[in-house]
Each structure stands twice: as C-alpha cells, then as structure tokens.
C-alpha cells in the first residue's frame, strides 16, 4: 500500500510505565498529540524547566549499545524502539514526555509502544508530509566491520536487512519489510532485543542492562557453562529466576516469536535510527550488518540530502518580492550583459555558511537554442557551468572585504558532472558554497538543480583581480 501523504498525530495522550533497559530507572512515557511540522521531541518532565530534545541526528551523543540523544547535560537513552513505533505507524508529530532518562523497555520490542499509540488513536492532519525523496544513491560503508548501508531511489519505502555473526549460535539471517502499513505491526514491532551470553557480564560491568532480564531480552547461548557457573552468573546479574542453557539456542529455552527474530529486531532498530533524519523517507534501504553507530552515520548522510532538498523547495516557492538580489541589483555587481548574463535572481546569501542560491529561468528565446539543437533544444553544459560560475562570482563579490569594480576570473574547473539535460521551461537553481579560500583565490562547490534533481555539479576555482591587471 502507498505511504500516507498527509501528516498524522495521535488523538489523545497515552502513557506506558516500566523500567529502563540499561539504566534500570523506573520510567513513565507519555505520548501527546502535536501540531503539524512538530516532528518528534523528547521532553524530560522530571527535570526543572522540562527541557526538550528534538529527535534528529544532530543531537545523538552515544551509540555504544543504544541510541542516546542529548543537549548540554540532558540525556534521553535508548530512543530507538519508541521512534520505530512512531515511524512504523506513520505518525509524524508527537511530543514524548519522560519521567526519567530512559523510556521503559517493556518486553524488549516496540510492540508496547505500538499498542498504546493505537489505543490513543491516529488523527490525520491537513499539511502534506515532507518526505526525504532519495533521488540518488546514498552509501555508507565501514570495511573494517563489514557494514554496508545503501539508499536507492524508490517512490515507496522498503527495507532489507542482513545480519551475520561469526557464531554458530546465530550465524546469518535476513529479513525485509516491503509494506509498512501491512507488515510493521504484526511482523516487526514484536521483535525483541537480544544479546549473547558471553556479552552479558561485560555489558553489566559497563554499567548497562541494569533493567535487563529474561522477560525483556533474548539471550543467545554462544558458550557452554556449567550449572555452577550459570548460577554464579545469575547471582552477579541479580536475576531472580533460575537459569539453564536450554536446547533451542536461547537461555532458559525462551521461544522466539519469529525464526529470524534477531534480524527483524535489527530492522526495527534501523527504522528507529532512521527516524533521526527528521522526515519520512521514500527509498529502498539495503543494510548489511547494521548497528546503532553505523545507522546514525548513515542517517547523517540522509539528513544532509533532506536539508538540501528542503532548502531548494523553500526557494522554489519563494516569491520574487522576497529576493535578496533582483536583476537590477545583479547588474550593479556583475559585468556580464546580454546575451551572456545567466543569473536572473538571487534568493539567498548566507554569510554564515558562505553560500548563495539563485536561479536562471531557461526559455526557448535563449539565442543558443537556435544551434543547440534546432530539433532538440538542450542548454549547453558549458553554459550551465557558466551560470554556476556567475553565481559564484556574486557570492565572492558580495562577501565582506571586496569593493565594487573588482572582477572574478575563473582559474579552474574540477569534478564536473552533467546528470540530466536542461531544456526550455526549466528553472535552473544555482546552489554555490565556498569551501576554501587563500588570499584572493577561492574554491567553490557548485550545483545546478531542476525540480529537486541535481543536473550538473562542479568544483570551481576563482581569483579576484583588478580589471587593469588583466
């Protein structure tokens, strides 16, 4: 089924209580309805002023065995299962209040959160969902760990996960989610967190899994222990129940909910970590051996793409009267004139980021279309580069420290790529960022964008000179 197209929140507040998996702290989580474009925000209601942390990757401070968000000294631990529940139910806006620094673990899956959110009811809002539309391959790799995460263009959302442990107790597993609405609640939300028996004591020594027990985690047996050793381990961990190795590969023969439950839980974790992009995603995600640290780095790459798309959409919708530099202002700065002035308007100068955004309206009246080509008009690639160069010149000349009368001459073009043709009727957005400067020479990263797709890009080098020196 297709993804929801309008934003959604919950109808009423709903709570769930328990203890945190790693901190062991008693905790109550309360989900509240939130307005459009609010996103997900965690609120520490137990602290003075009830500080809040937006659930975006910029605020991730730890990914050791969990995903931790933080601002200053405020922390919220183990957010991934909560976020996975919200993503899986396609809820876009929610205020998440906590009475401690970690949500309750429940049974170690996302199902308890899903059930209370369903009880609260889901309400459609009026504004359209602001998707990250993956229109180019995004790849994260860690060769040392054998990790690969890839996002491919797709007008839908699908996720495939493969895990592989060099351990006969688990080995290799894979799983895939192809229809969020049909499959998430029954096939992925119930998948529980897991750990290996050999990890348990080490995790406890690290100050983790203080709230862990055999009711909220699967322990996979990967080492033979005597009955005496098992009893000593149970005492060190503070487990109330007796423990035994079992015959099905899990401690105490705890039955699995799915044959490949560990792989499904890894997919669940990935959903929660990708929520930190800050937008629902349209893409096919392929993940080999994912983990929180790698998921978060992948989410950083996707968020960069999302913010770039959001900026382009913002300025495509911007009215001419809001422009920072119209054609009259451009003519006062630039020496170019017809038929070689290829920037019509500048819509943003960002001095902090050293960035400029402008556009060129491409019409059939352009003189170059008469010869390039009469039966198939395409804007020459060299002129797209020239348009990006002129936007670069405006960025340089607009910067502090340069006076009128200077000229910007280009000294090099590197890494030029042309991805799609530009034709009459297109609005060519020019996005240029200063990435290097030494004395009077500059290095700029330039992109040309049509309908949110990068049609050309290049690294440009330029120098500022006096006209009489040429």
Among candidate residues 175, 183, 221, the one with its CA nearest the CA of residue 199: 221
- Residue 105 contacts residue 20 (beta carbons within 8 Å): yes
List 22, 81, 292, 294, catalytic entry: 292
- Residue 376 contacts residue 421 (beta carbons within 8 Å): no
Helix (H) or strand (E) holding 233: helix 227-237
What letter would DSSP give residue 186?
Answer: H
Site of tokens 């699995």 = 256
- Residue 336 contacts residue 390 (beta carbons within 8 Å): yes
- Residue 292 contacts residue 272 (beta carbons within 8 Å): no
Largest CA distance in the chain: 90
* Token pair in block for residue 174: 């894979």
- Residue 448 contacts residue 387 (beta carbons within 8 Å): yes
Query: Environment class of residue 4 by beta-carbon count within 10 Å: exposed (0-12), middle (13-18) or buried (19+)?
Result: middle
Cβ neighbour number for residue 99 with a 10 Å cutoff: 17
List 59, 174, 336, 372, catalytic entry: 372
* Token pair in block for residue 214: 């055999």
* Token pair in block for residue 362: 């491409």
- Residue 46 contacts residue 38 (beta carbons within 8 Å): no
Active site residue 174: no
Active site residue 336: no
- Residue 167 contacts residue 177 (beta carbons within 8 Å): no
- Residue 60 contacts residue 69 (beta carbons within 8 Å): yes
Catalytic residues: 292, 372
């Amino acid at each position: 089924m297709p993804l929801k197209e309008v934003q959604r929140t919950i109808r009423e507040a709903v709570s769930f209580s328990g203890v945190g998996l790693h901190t062991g702290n008693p905790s109550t989580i309360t989900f509240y309805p939130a307005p459009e474009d609010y996103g997900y925000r965690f609120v520490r209601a137990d602290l003075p002023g009830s500080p809040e942390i937006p659930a975006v990757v910029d605020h991730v401070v730890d990914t050791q065995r969990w995903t931790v968000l933080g601002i200053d000294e405020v922390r919220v631990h183990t957010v991934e299962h909560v976020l996975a529940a919200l993503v899986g139910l396609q809820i876009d806006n929610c205020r998440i209040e906590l009475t401690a620094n970690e949500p309750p673990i429940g049974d170690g899956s996302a199902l308890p959160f899903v059930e209370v959110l369903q009880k609260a009811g889901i309400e459609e809002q009026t504004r359209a969902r602001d998707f990250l539309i993956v229109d180019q391959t995004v790849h994260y790799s860690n060769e040392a760990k054998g990790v690969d995460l890839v996002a491919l263009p797709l007008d839908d959302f699908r996720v495939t996960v493969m895990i592989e442990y060099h351990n006969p107790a688990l080995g290799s597993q894979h799983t895939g989610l192809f229809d969020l609405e049909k499959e998430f609640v029954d096939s992925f939300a119930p998948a529980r967190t897991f750990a290996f028996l050999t990890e348990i004591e080490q995790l406890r020594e690290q100050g983790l899994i203080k709230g862990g027990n055999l009711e909220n985690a699967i322990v996979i047996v990967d080492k033979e222990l005597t009955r005496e050793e098992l009893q000593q381990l149970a005492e060190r961990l503070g487990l109330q129940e007796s423990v035994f190795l079992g015959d099905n590969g899990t401690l105490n023969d705890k039955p699995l909910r799915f044959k490949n439950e560990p792989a499904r839980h890894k997919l669940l974790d990935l959903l929660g970590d990708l929520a930190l992009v800050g937008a629902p995603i349209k893409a096919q995600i392929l993940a080999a051996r994912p983990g929180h640290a790698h998921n978060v780095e992948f989410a950083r790459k996707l968020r960069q793409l999302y913010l770039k798309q959001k900026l382009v959409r913002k300025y495509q919708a911007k009215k001419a009267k809001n422009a920072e530099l119209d054609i009259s202002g451009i003519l006062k700065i630039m020496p170019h004139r017809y038929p070689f002035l290829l920037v019509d308007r500048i819509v943003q100068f960002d001095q902090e980021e050293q960035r400029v955004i402008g556009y060129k309206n491409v019409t059939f009246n352009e003189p170059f279309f008469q010869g390039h080509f009469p039966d198939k008009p395409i804007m020459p690639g060299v002129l797209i580069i020239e348009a990006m160069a002129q936007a670069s010149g405006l960025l340089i000349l607009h910067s502090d420290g340069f006076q009128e009368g200077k000229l910007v001459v280009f000294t090099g073009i590197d890494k030029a790529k042309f991805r799609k043709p530009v034709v009459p009727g297109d609005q060519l957005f020019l996005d240029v960022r200063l990435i290097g400067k030494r004395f009077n020479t500059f290095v700029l990263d330039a992109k040309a964008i049509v309908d949110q797709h990068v049609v050309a890009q290049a690294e440009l080098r330029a120098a500022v000179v006096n006209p009489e020196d040429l």
